Amino acid sequence: MKKYVRPMFGIALLFFPIMAFSEPGIPAFTVETDAAGNQDYTLTMQILLLMTGLTLLPAALIAMTSFLRIVVVLALLRQALGTQQTPSNQILVGLALFLTLFIMSPVLDKIYDDAVSPYLEEQVKFKEAIDIAKVPVHQFMIQQTRSDDLGMFAEMADIQLTDPESVPFKVLIPAYMTSELKTAFQIGFMIFIPFLIIDLVVATLLMSMGMMMLSPMIISLPFKIMLFVLIDGWALIMGTLANSFVVAGGSI
């Protein structure tokens, strides 16, 4: 083993002067200051921030868009129907994702027109583009959030709320998620009522006929599916979810 270590050590010593006097690499973080005193980050730092933002994209999708309300309502609908894993989780997530894109399209268009497009054309700095992009997202979230939820989290954070535009995201995001869960469960309760009535009627009929060993779910499931199809349930659910959001001063 020793006869191989010494030659390798000698080869490494040959390259040591080259590595010692080589040029330094690309700086990972530099800040540029213009004549007005505004600071901007280099392209390397911007790429680092972009890659970090992409890792947080799933969390932002759940916490700052309409995805949370939609996926909870769809999960409660599947439970009310009693169809076990049909539709599957992948289908429900896909429906929630594309309905979220449909609902959030006015917000995304405004972000692109006001922040992304000017930044790509080098009309605004990176930090200024971020500040512009936060405004429509903040406006969308504040329109869906209940005032009592905002007040609760603002009180816990010891922050005085003067106007809706001044609410920080650290208070707005948990308040928004709490409000979305409340709204989703309210919609789910209304969905459960007709299917619960069918289950009660079927269970009562089976008990009156002395068929107590037969599960009511087996008999009520076809009737619930038939009712849901006859009233065009999927269109009603999707339309109700889309119209339950307020974007840019009005419903979708």
Q: How much is the pLDDT for 228?
A: 87
Average pLDDT over residues 216-225: 82
Closest CA to 34 of 131, 95, 124: 124
Cα(41)–Cα(128) distance, integer angstroms = 11
pLDDT digit string (tens) for 20-75?
A: 444 444 454 455 566 566 655 555 666 766 677 677 777 878 888 889 999 999 99
- Are 179 and 169 a contacting pair, CB within 8 Å? no
Q: How much is the pLDDT for 46?
A: 61
Q: Is 215 helix (H, G, I), strand (E, B) or coil?
A: coil
212: left (phi over 0), alpha (psi -120 to 50) or beta: alpha
Answer whether residue 92 shows pLDDT above 80.
yes
Answer whether residue 77 shows pLDDT above 50.
yes
pLDDT digit string (tens) for 159-181?
A: 887 777 778 888 888 999 999 99
Average pLDDT over residues 132-151: 88
